[in-house]
Every structure is written in structure tokens, then in C-alpha cells.
């Protein structure tokens, strides 16, 4: 990737991160003040002795919560993701596999021209890896124990180069914010919908108030689904780019193709990695049944492109061919 394209990608990710935070705050403002407005319209025609919603406390509370969540996602989103996965930081390698990982991360950091990220180990036997953080200075790379045991040095180097590309392109900032905010949207929507249980609307309310409240409730239902689909779409696009730039960093696209095939062939899901952070991983940490299909459902509900399509592109980069179950090509 040329410097011009790299800087353009970084600039685009900075803009998208800013828009994401702005959209997150607007969503919470609508959830808060929209609910206040609907209740105000609904209660203003009720008898004097009935409750009249005047003070917009829902909006004030929602905006305060949104601001706190946005700040936390920006400053501590990576630690939340790592903590939720049960990862522990590798400080002093204690095994040959850990030493190999430490060496590979240092090599790829030098190749990418960025500071060496912190290294984390996820106690899970399913092979997977992800990068997180808000910029290259505050970046982390996490790999599962299963990945260390499964891959050769060349394949591990290719996976780390892929994750290093996410760091260098500032994908980690955008995707870490997505991971935190998708969870926040789902949480607030679930809380508000539970709060509405048992509430009955009287027919005395103004029709416009009922319409506003109906739109408000529909927003609570649709928002978690829409935000999850958005995070998946963003992740799919960036996986192709990280595959290509990672292959350029380690000069071995076929090693990444082999690593992806090995990781995708694992029978179990990566259960240590929370579903909301699945788009951070090199392959979908779920069962990956839909991801193997390139159709509408696979494209809509999965956080990663089908591995076979990613492998095909990498073979094209390496001028490789697939013969039987063996991968051959120029190295």
C-alpha cells in the first residue's frame, strides 16, 4: 500500500470514527428526548390530576449516559474487549511458542513502521486472533492458545501481519468503537423495552403523540439489529484490505491463505470472545455456518467475508493454485 493510500485510509477511518460517535450521541438523544416529547404530547391533554410529563429527565439521563459510554469506549474500549475475552498480557515469554509470538510481533511492527503493540493471550483452544486499541501507540494484539499451537511460524507471521495492518490503517479505532457501541445500543434498547412492560397507553392521548411513541418504540427494536449489521458491514470491507496489506508486509500471501484455511477448519466456536466483538477477529468467532455462503444471508449477518473468497484473492496475489488439498505457488 502506498503512503498516499495509507494516509487516505487513516483519514477516512478518523472521519468514520467521529461520525460514529456523533451518530451514537444522536441516537441516545432521540431515545431520550424523543421519549420525553412523546410523553409530553400524550399527557398534556389528560385531566389536571393526572401525571403531566414536563421535565425532560429521560433525555437528560440518556445524553449523560451516552457521553459516559462514548468516553469509556474511546479510552477503555480495548480493555473492555480484552477483559471480556479473559485475555492475559504476555510480558515475559515462558514457552517456545510464546517466544516465537513475541519475536513475530516485533518483526511485523518493524515492517509496518509502528510501535510494537502489547501482546495478549486468550485462554481458548479455538484458533483466532484480533487487534484492538485507539491508535498504534495504544494498540494490542491478542491470539488464542489454540492459534499458537496450530500455526507454523510463517502462518503465525502472516496472521500477525494481518492484525498489524488493522493497527496501521486505524481500523482498530473504528472497530473497537463499534464493538463497544453496538453493545451499548443493545443494552439501552433492552433496558428501555423492559421498562415499557406493563405500561398501557390510554386512548385519550393525542394521535400525534401515539405516532411519536410508536416510532420511538420501533427505534428501540430496530436499533440493535441495525447497529450489528453496520458493524458487520464495516468489518467485511476491512478484512479484505487487511489481508492485502498484511500480505504485503510479510511478502507471503500464501502463508495467510493457509492460516485462514486452518483457522476456518476448526470445529468449535471461539467462545472466549464475546459475540459483540466478533468483527475484531481474523475469522468469525461463531460457528461460521453462514459465513461459508456468499449469498444474501451470509453477506448480511456475518462479520467476515467467506474464507474461501479471501483465500482465492490471496492465491491471486501469490500467483498460487490449489491442487487437491495442497497450496502451491511462488514464494
To which H or E segment does residue 317 belong? helix 307-317
To which H or E segment does residue 80 belong? helix 57-84
Q: Where does residue 215 fall: left (phi above 0), alpha (psi -120 to 50 degrees), or beta otherwise?
A: alpha
Cα dihedral 150, 154, 158, 160 sign: positive
Residue 163 known to be catalytic: yes
Phi and psi angles of residue 266, each rounded to the nearest 5 degrees, phi first: -60, 130
Whole-Å CA distances, 51 to 216, 225, 268: 20, 34, 54
Neighbours of 204 (CB within 10 A): 11
- How do beta strands 321-323 and 326-328 pair? antiparallel
Phi and psi angles of residue 130, each rounded to the nearest 5 degrees, phi first: -155, 160
Cα distance between residue 115 and residue 226, in whole Å: 35
Spatial neighbors of 183 by CB under 8 A, at least 6 apart, are 276
- How do beta strands 139-144 and 129-133 pair? antiparallel
Which residues face 129 on adjacent strands?
Answer: 143
Spatial neighbors of 154 by CB under 8 A, at least 6 apart, are 252, 255
Question: Which of 45, 49, 163, 268 is labelled catalytic?
Answer: 163
3-state SS class at 322? strand
Return the closest-CA partner of residue 185 out of 147, 225, 157, 135: 225
Return the closest-CA partner of residue 252 out of 172, 146, 152, 137: 152
Q: With contact defined as beta carbons under 8 Å apart, do 124 and 273 qualify?
A: yes
Point out the residues that are catalytic. Answer: 163
Amino acid at each position: 500500500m502506498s503512503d498516499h493510500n495509507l494516509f487516505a485510509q487513516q483519514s477516512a477511518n478518523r472521519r468514520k470514527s467521529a461520525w460514529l460517535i456523533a451518530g451514537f450521541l444522536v441516537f441516545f438523544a432521540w431515545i431520550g428526548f424523543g421519549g420525553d416529547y412523546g410523553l409530553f404530547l400524550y399527557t398534556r391533554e389528560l385531566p389536571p390530576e393526572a401525571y403531566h410529563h414536563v421535565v425532560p429527565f429521560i433525555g437528560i439521563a440518556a445524553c449523560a449516559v451516552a457521553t459516559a459510554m462514548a468516553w469509556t469506549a474511546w479510552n477503555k474500549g480495548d480493555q473492555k474487549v480484552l477483559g471480556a475475552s479473559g485475555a492475559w498480557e504476555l510480558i515475559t515469554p515462558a514457552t517456545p511458542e510464546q517466544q516465537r509470538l513475541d519475536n513475530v510481533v516485533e518483526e511485523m511492527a518493524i515492517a509496518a513502521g509502528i510501535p510494537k503493540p502489547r501482546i495478549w493471550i486468550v485462554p481458548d483452544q479455538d484458533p483466532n486472533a484480533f487487534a484492538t486499541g485507539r491508535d498504534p501507540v495504544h494498540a494490542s494484539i491478542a491470539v488464542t492458545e489454540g492459534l499458537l499451537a496450530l500455526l507454523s511460524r510463517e502462518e503465525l507471521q502472516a496472521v500477525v501481519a494481518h492484525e498489524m495492518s488493522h493497527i496501521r490503517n486505524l481500523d482498530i479505532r473504528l472497530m473497537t468503537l463499534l464493538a463497544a457501541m453496538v453493545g451499548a445500543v443493545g443494552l439501552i434498547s433492552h433496558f428501555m423495552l423492559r421498562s415499557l412492560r406493563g405500561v398501557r397507553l390510554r386512548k385519550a392521548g393525542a394521535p400525534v403523540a401515539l405516532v411519536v411513541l410508536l416510532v420511538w418504540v420501533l427505534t428501540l427494536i430496530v436499533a440493535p439489529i441495525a447497529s450489528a449489521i453496520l458493524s458487520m458491514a464495516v468489518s467485511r470491507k476491512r478484512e479484505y484490505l487487511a489481508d492485502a496489506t498484511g500480505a504485503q508486509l510479510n511478502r507471503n500471501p500464501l502463508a495467510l491463505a493457509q492460516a485462514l484455511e486452518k483457522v476456518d477448519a476448526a470445529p468449535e466456536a471461539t467462545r472466549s470472545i464475546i459475540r459483540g466483538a466478533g468483527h475484531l477477529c481474523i475469522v468469525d468467532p461463531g460457528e461460521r455456518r453462514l459465513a461459508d455462503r456468499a449469498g444474501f444471508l451470509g453477506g448480511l449477518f456475518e462479520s467476515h467475508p467467506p474464507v474461501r473468497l479471501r483465500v482465492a484473492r490471496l492465491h491471486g496475489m501469490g500467483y498460487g493454485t490449489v491442487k487437491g488439498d495442497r497450496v502451491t505457488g511462488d514464494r
